Structure 1
Amino acid sequence: MTTMTAPTAELSTGIVEGSSEGGVSRFLGIPYAAPPFGENRFREPRPATPWTGVRPATAFGPTAPQSPYPGAIGELLGSVRIDGDDILTANIWAPTDAERAPVLLWIHGGALERGTAALPLYDGAGFAAAGIVFVSINYRLGSEGFSVLDDAPRNLGLRDAAAALEWVHREIGAFGGDPARITLMGESAGGAIVAGLLARDESRTLVARAIIESGPLEAQPPQKAGRVTAALAKRLGIQADRASFASVPPEKLLEARRAQSAGSSPLGGAPGFQFAIDPDSLPRSPHEVLPTIDTPLLIGSNTDEYRLWFTPETLAEIRPLKLFIARLALGIPRRAVSEYRKAFPKASTGEIFGQLATDVMLRAPLSRAARARPALTFVYEFAWPSPVRDLRAAHALELGFVFDRLADAEAQRLAGADAPQALADEMHAAWISFVTTGSPGWAAYGADRTTRVFDTTSGTLPQRRTAGMDLLPTRS
């Protein structure tokens, strides 16, 4: 009988011991920074404390303080809670014989206030089996990570991700990874963080390539980004400064946020957490920087993003007056609405509202950036329609396909039990190809706006539905 020896890695802070299965070594819950509580609360990430002996790395670290998804969306998106303060951790899946292998750093989404790397959907074994060292991280969320306080550093969750990227660049060689071949990947808010890291000169130099899935690209002036903080301070009867917020336990901040955001969605209602333009952490909005940099980029969105946030019943209740008011508020010209009605001739008023709002937030900014970029840019549209709750190609649906995890319960919440494995094979292989070779397998976006449309039968064709989208304004 052969006894397997547990894999170890020697880092600058100490030795970690993981586990091994099927040719993949796994190391979980490794601190890349100190716990951001006590004296470290609402401060920049501090270095992790070294340890003596061998530290077990076989369980995920604690999750950042957060509330579960509410209502109908909570039936579709799961959550994991792991108690503890040591929330700034990284997880690694590596081929057991890795040597200067490409690295993929995954950053989860969740509207900057939910999510965790511990979700089984984000298991990196599939990428590791393809010869990639896969890394996932946690970062501060919600009020802990994105408050705009008078005397505290801004964009702390983004600073956490920057610290994690620096940690990966410094330590990944111990796991067989090549620090010169790091690809960033994120979805939704995680995609926004990828864009934010690319917008930071000191972070971008550590990145070889990047993948942004359905990620907002725009940061806001501090006053606008700080509306959620100001509203929470008013609700709690405190000042919007570090001492006042640090005096409130995390759970009480979460309670106030739950009350503040009840009934809201990413497309309306209470203000949400956003990046703040900040000379120290984010001097320029990512949507301004992405067109000027030479980092190769894979970027895209889903055809029906909005259907994750709105139930069919809610969409049916949206009347023409609300669409008219939204059009005026967002500065959308009447002609654009007409073009969207042509593109979606069977759509209801609510569906037109959803398409317009999410294209303003996601698809139009990524398309503008792709058209302006001098570097290789590959654009995709995920179009496969889920049979679950008439989600169609909703926000986050592509994740089960990208990770090749369609059998996972989290993926099946969105995609059902009979999603096409061939499409998962195709997308997973395309992402692996981009990480390892720099090309996902279709032509780069250019004057003809070449786009890969992923569906039951996929195809490469000029970008669809551009007549109305090109008329949409930038957000401000």
Structure 2
Amino acid sequence: MDSFDAPGEPVTVHAPAGTIIGRRAGQVRRFLGIPYAEAPTGMRRFAPPVPRGRLPEPFDASRHGATSQRVPLFATTTIPEPSIPGDDVLNLGIVAPAAQDDDRGPLPVMVWIHGGGFLAGSPASPWYDGRAFARDGVVCVTVGYRLGVDGFAPLDGVRPNLGLRDLLLALDWVRENIAAFGGDPDRVTVAGQSAGGAAVLALLSSPEGGGRFHRAVSLSGGLFGGDADAARDLLERLGRRLGVPPTRTGFGGRTVEQIQQAVIDLRDESGGRLVLGPCVGDDLLPVPVADGLAVHGHDVPLLLGATGDEFDGGAEQETRAAARAAGTRVTDALFRSACARTAAARRRAAAGTWLYSFEWPSPMLGGAAHCADLPFFFDVLDAPGVAEALGPNPPAGLATLMHADLVGFVRGQDPAWARATGALGDPAREYGRPGAALTADTTGVYDPVARAVEPC
């Protein structure tokens, strides 16, 4: 058995998608690598996802499926992000309680979208293991989707935003099948971090997202929705590097590995500013995400926030505080401003919007850095790589509190703190601010970035 295998004894579920054999260990059942769409190869590459037909034979769901990531963005990443070979990259994993309790009925579901800048990332990360959610009566689903050129390149003759279309199809699969795993298809929360959090906001803003999920959580997500012309300039440069025309046929003649490596090489040459992600102007994103949020998804409660430092750590606490007060950091421009803008866009949403801010400074990362909140929200401080990122003694009590807040939201509870509207002095829950209680409801956390935001 290796790190991609689920531990335990076989356990079988009969779902509309077919017979699926996972593993049960202790109080947790895991069903990994379940294909929700046909493999995006051959003529299906650069095409909208095709629903997977009913599995003709019992499916062995004992190990993580293939990942869209073939080449990691960096040699070392904060989150362990394994790359797993194979063609069936459009797969999902389910972690559920070991036994269904008929007295409490079907359980709420959280569908998790991994980050990675829309270029990389892996749903097989041990930081995304849903065992603590299963322990607390939540079915956790992790989803793989196409990345980079294969998922988000605006190529002529190709429908845009294929990665988002993958996610919508995965949500359809969950709606049709999750009851067989003990989940409630009428209580689905879509959640994600970084690019995954941005994808959540994009889906929430889309006229196509309605009815597929009932709550939403965006951790360190931004309002990404680029211009297709800018992306095409990138594709021209990429084509020259690969020696092919920047077309569906040209890129189709190169492997996913070759394209991902070329994208990363270009990104390094561009100082890390190279981005492929959702594009505005199609049926999924007809308008920019912020504009869509002012219209769509108002019946979906939203929890969102950011870390205090994101990509601006490393300095002394006083220096970080001064830069944050000015509101001019990358952290503020990309992440914290998105929280204020989203709250403003949704200020009339009946379902409500709530803000949080993660403030605990990792001694290893030099601040409340990007991704540092994930082991707390997932309550997996014992997972591989956590000690390297957070040090040997991250506060377990903070993980207990943050995880409980997220579980309560997924279960359908409104957060204990007041709603946000995008105005100055908006309330937020702070987690782990030095010198304060582990959790503290406060106001004004997002004011430096909110001042630059006009109400929608």
Provide the rounded CA distance (Å) in 1 between the counterparts of 2:91 and 2:191: 17
Aligned match of 2:440 in 450, 455, 459?
A: 459
Query: Structure 1 residues 256 and 75, CA, compared in 2 at 3 Å: closer, same or farther?
Result: closer
Aligned match of 2:88 in 86, 97, 106?
A: 86
Q: Per-residue CA shift, 1:18-73, capped at 9, x if unaligned?
A: 111222221111000011111211111012143323111111101113322325xx
1:18 counterpart SS class: strand
Deviates more, 1:207-216 or 1:435-444: 435-444
Aligned match of 2:286 in 265, 283, 287?
A: 283
Provide the rounded CA distance (Å) in 2 between the counterparts of 1:348 and 1:380: 17
Q: 2:65 corresponds to which residue?
A: 61
Q: 2:393 corresponds to which residue?
A: 418
Provide the rounded CA distance (Å) in 2 between the counterparts of 1:107 and 1:224: 25
Q: 1:121 corresponds to which residue?
A: 127
| Alpha-carbon contact 1:152-1:241 (below 8 Å) kept | no
Q: Per-residue CA shift, 1:282-313, capped at 9, x if unaligned?
A: 212222222332310000001101136xxx4x
The question of 1:141 aligning with 2:147 is answered yes
Aligned match of 1:385 in 338, 347, 361?
A: 361
The question of 1:248 aligning with 2:254 is answered yes
Extract unaligned runs of 5+ from structure 2. Answer: 1-7
| Alpha-carbon contact 1:75-1:413 (below 8 Å) kept | no
Residue 347 of structure 1: CA displacement? 4.8
Provide the rounded CA distance (Å) in 2 between the counterparts of 1:67 and 1:472: 38
Query: Structure 1 residues 278 and 371, CA, compared in 2 at 3 Å: closer, same or farther?
Result: closer
Structure 1 length normalisation: TM-score? 0.85
Extract unaligned runs of 5+ from structure 1. Answer: 317-343
Aligned-pair identity (%):
35
Q: 1:472 corresponds to which residue?
A: 452
Q: Per-residue CA shift, 1:416-475, capped at 9, x if unaligned?
A: 111100000000000000011332332222465110000162210112251x3234369x
Q: 1:339 corresponds to which residue?
A: none
Q: Per-residue CA shift, 1:352-394, capped at 9, x if unaligned?
A: 999522211111122122134223111000000110042x101
| Alpha-carbon contact 1:227-1:271 (below 8 Å) kept | no
Provide the rounded CA distance (Å) in 1 between the counterparts of 2:360 and 2:236: 40
Q: Map 1:339-354 to 2 at 5 A.
A: 346-347=319-320
1:43 counterpart SS class: coil
Q: Map 1:187-266 to 2 at 5 A.
A: 187-262=193-268
Q: Per-residue CA shift, 1:213-258, capped at 9, x if unaligned?
A: 0001131221124343232123223322211111112122123113
The one-letter code of the counterpart of 2:100 is D
Structure 2 length normalisation: TM-score? 0.88
Q: 2:334 corresponds to which residue?
A: 361
| Alpha-carbon contact 1:302-1:393 (below 8 Å) kept | yes
Query: Structure 1 residues 201 and 9, CA, compared in 2 at 3 Å: closer, same or farther?
Result: farther
Q: 2:3 corresponds to which residue?
A: none
Q: 2:5 corresponds to which residue?
A: none
Provide the rounded CA distance (Å) in 2 between the counterparts of 1:244 and 1:347: 46
The one-letter code of the counterpart of 2:341 is R
Residue 146 of structure 1: CA displacement? 1.2
| Alpha-carbon contact 2:327-2:449 (below 8 Å) kept | no
Provide the rounded CA distance (Å) in 2 between the counterparts of 1:210 and 1:282: 18
Provide the rounded CA distance (Å) in 2 between the counterparts of 1:188 and 1:433: 22
How well do the aligned residues superpose, as a CA RMSD in angstroms? 2.4
Deviates more, 1:9-18 or 1:417-426: 9-18
Residue 93 of structure 1: CA displacement? 1.1
Spell out structure 1 runs of 4+ moving beyond 6 A: 348-354
The one-letter code of the counterpart of 1:417 is P
Provide the rounded CA distance (Å) in 2 between the counterparts of 1:161 and 1:148: 18
Deviates more, 1:119-128 or 1:251-260: 251-260
The one-letter code of the counterpart of 1:18 is G
